[in-house]
Structure 1
Amino acid sequence: MKEIATQIEARFAEMGVKVEIKDIETRLNRLINEFKVPAEEARRNVINYFLKEYDIPRTEFYTPRETHLVKASDINEDGRWITLRAKVVQLWESNHESISQVGLLGDESGTIKFTKWAKAELPDVVEGNCYLFKNITTSEYQGQFSVKFNKTSEILPIDEDIDVGSIPVEFRGAIVDIQNGSGLIKRCPECNRALVKGACGEHGKVDGVYDLRVKAVMDNGEKVQDILLNREMTETFIGLTLDEAKDMATEALDQAVVCDLIKNKLIGRYFIASGAKVDRFILVESIKKDEEPVVEEINMLLAHTAPVSQEA
């Protein structure tokens, strides 16, 4: 909270306005500690209060200064203006009209989530392409950092391929659910979003491009973990190619048969999945059957089975 107050005081000072840091801290403390308002929301509330108090236009306060090029792994502070050179690793579907695009960016140091607001009116990015993202802001929520694109941001395509680095994590457990949006799906040819009832949230009704994926939930008895398998991983793991999946759906006149097949093959079975952890998902790079839980469960049952006492 002290750091947030210092940042707010410093920004107003740059504009020639003296705001007492005690006043800032008092308002932040009341919002965060008394009313349990999230820190980022409290920060905006306090800034807006003093903007109104000193009759300062929001556009003037939030005008970005010259931003520095940073690596994804260096993003560890909320509310900074930065420039990022990165590849669009993945685009995710968004159910919010206020969000134009959301997904994952990556550079040599790692990956980070991004959100592009619809009101920013910026051009769409394409999955797999590389860009220079200028004047974007960092954001923090529950210890997770991300970047946001706004009206002052710039998206500049660059003609190079960035190797994306990541630190893989591993999760062992049983697959307990296959989520909606798994199996044979269609994507928008313009922005790669998954279509909903044949329509893209950005481009409307389009002739979609078929894709294959698995969105699953794993459970190890202590916590659950969402995992995501792309087309290549799904084809290898399930033993079903995209063309075979399309043939199945055509024959059955129903795309759901592909998802049913995936459920029958995976639900209730134990696996070890590893890959980059992004937001709530592990983007699976390797997955294999885990034979050990069966032995462990038997041993646990034997250990907890008390001998039956016999009375004469």
Structure 2
Amino acid sequence: MTRPTQPDHQTAPEAAIDRRLSVAPMMDCTDRYARFLLRLVTGKTLLYTEMVPAAAIVHGRVDLFLAFDPREHPVAIQFGGSDPRELAECARWAHRYGYDEVNLNVGCPSDRVQSGRFGACLMAEPDRVGDCVAAMADASPLPVTVKTRIGIDNMDSWAFLRDFVGAVAERGCRSFTIHARKAWLQGLSPKQNREIPALDYDRVYQLKAAFPDLEIAVNGGVTSVDAACAHLQRVDGVMIGREAYHNPYMLADADRRIFGAEGGPPSRRDVLDAYLPFVEEQMRQGAPLNAMSRHVLGLFQGVPGARAWRRYISENAHLPGAGPDVLEAAAARVQDGGHRAAG
């Protein structure tokens, strides 16, 4: 069993990014505290930030949205926007801050995102997406990638997806992550649109076959490393979303199985022990405990005592004076403190 340590400080690596497995950008989930926890579980999986609105960067709130711990590498930042000039500025800032990749959101269907003319609605404007990609690529040496859907509303034919990807690829994007269901821009909430309509993995496989020189990753409904391995027989990469957040330990064996790393996975308790010094460090800098503790609620999922672990944290992490000892006390409610917990 390999015991995790807090990742070494480092700058963005020069080597090409390995996108065989990644954790999706998720609003209110994949903040810097969650990413640090995930990095303790898996050292190789590419992590994405929450979507950052381009306008927020242009209006000067740079450090609030872009600051991250160098120990998170490899880490990509996702921007939402549709103005090539704004997105070019974002790409420059992403490079200055040391990110490994800059990603453009062309997949979010929420009304708020649509009102800003970005997200999934941009699939109807491939030329604009191409302009955005080209501007970002010109402004920064970072690889520019796109996360999108297989279609929107009634524009969901194979020809539509093929032509969209082809047009954007011509402007410089060589890596696409495809959420394998179309987005309904009206009538469904973003939560509903994560489940409706049905996933169509074959459409993503077809896309890879049509563009063998592009890097194509699949996203949507992947809940295990076993499933990721199966998809990797047909595409270049797999992006896991909600399951990785609610059950982070499901990624514990990903380094060995996906990336060929040696050694066994850490235990859940090993992960917690490595996270506690980070919690102390961040609290000294002014972060409240519950900003970090909410991300560990799923760490012991499936282990006897997991419900007591979650309850204790939920009832105590927000109290005045709460510190890392709350997590220690919660872990004591898990069978054997999690030392022999298995994935």
The TM-score with structure 1 as length reference comes to: 0.24
Rg comparison, structure with higher value: 1
Relative contact order higher in (CA < 8 Å, ≥ 6 apart): 2
The answer to which structure has the higher strand fraction is 1
The answer to which structure has the higher helix fraction is 2
The TM-score with structure 2 as length reference comes to: 0.22
